């Protein structure tokens, strides 16, 4: 009599379980191990304590809810140049970077700050596009003062107009064109770190 899987209770249980285990290994375990090995071979992350503090502030303020760090590419037009895969940037994202982000862009980031939606501009290369420290501070303090069409909320609580008696690591914010006069503005340590993090975003890593 020929073997019939439908008449074997053990096979009815073991075959789907085995297939599930095989799929988990192929679809999750193997790719995760390949990525782990790739990250281990990546250049070590530079140590910038202030940038890391700013990254923590960025997460705390949930900036990723409105800003992505993910320049999208058209996979159908991907090219291989000198052994390197190049994915052309979608037309809508060309103002953010000349190359689409890939896994190397998120090396040493845990978690990767890819964002969830693009209510505001993508921040992948914001440190190169807008390199002025003072501009970023004034933009955080009052977005519409430097960008009239901005829908970003003001983060005035990150700033003071008078230094507290026990002030430490506060920085005076310089003036920028179009913003003159008025009281002085001082950035709190959180604001200083956040701007340092924004300036560290120099675009896609090559």
CA distances from 24 to 12, 30, 92 (A): 19, 9, 36
Contact 55, 99 (CB under 8 A): no
- What is the tens place of the pLDDT at every residue in 91-136? 888 888 878 887 777 777 778 888 888 899 999 889 988 888 999 9
Question: Looking at residues 41-51, what average pLDDT do you find?
Answer: 73
User: What is the predicted pLDDT for the residue at 206?
Assistant: 46
42-200: CATH topology is Cytochrome Bc1 Complex; Chain D, domain 2 (1.10.760)
Residue 176, C-beta contacts closer than 8 angstroms, at least 6 positions apart:
132, 134, 135, 138, 146
What is the pLDDT, as a whole number, of residue 3? 60
Tell me, what's the pLDDT at 151? 93
Going from N- to C-terminal start, the domains of the chain cover 1-41, 42-200
**DSSP 8-state code for residue 148:** T
User: Which pTM value belongs to this model?
Assistant: 0.73
Dump pLDDT digits (tens) for 134-182.
Answer: 999 999 999 998 889 999 999 999 999 888 888 888 999 988 877 766 6
The residue among 194, 174, 171 whose CA lies nearest residue 67 is: 194
Q: Are 190 and 58 in contact (CB under 8 A)?
A: no
49 has a pLDDT exceeding 60: yes
Handedness of CA 137, 141, 142, 145 (dihedral sign): negative
CA distance 77 to 62: 33
CB 191 within 8 A of CB 197: no
d(CA 79, CA 73): 12
């Amino acid at each position: 009599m020929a073997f019939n899987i439908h008449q074997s209770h053990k096979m009815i249980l073991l075959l789907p379980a085995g297939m599930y285990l095989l799929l988990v290994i192929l679809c999750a375990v193997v790719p995760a191990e390949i990525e782990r090995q790739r990250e281990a071979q990546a250049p070590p992350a530079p140590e910038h304590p202030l940038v890391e503090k700013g990254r923590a502030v960025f997460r705390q303020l949930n900036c990723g809810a409105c800003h992505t760090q993910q320049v999208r590419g058209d996979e159908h037009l991907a090219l291989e140049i000198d052994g390197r895969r190049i994915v052309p940037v979608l037309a809508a994202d060309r103002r953010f970077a000349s190359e689409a982000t890939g896994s190397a862009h998120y090396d040493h980031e845990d978690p990767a700050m890819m964002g969830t939606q693009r209510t505001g501009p993508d921040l992948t290369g914001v440190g190169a596009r807008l390199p002025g420290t003072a501009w970023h501070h004034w933009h955080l303090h009052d977005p519409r003062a430097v960008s009239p069409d901005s829908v970003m909320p003001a983060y005035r609580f990150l700033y003071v107009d008078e230094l507290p008696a026990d002030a430490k690591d506060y920085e005076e914010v310089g003036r920028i064109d179009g913003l003159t006069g008025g009281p002085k503005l001082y950035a709190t340590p959180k604001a200083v770190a956040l701007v340092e993090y924004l300036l560290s975003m120099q675009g896609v890593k090559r």
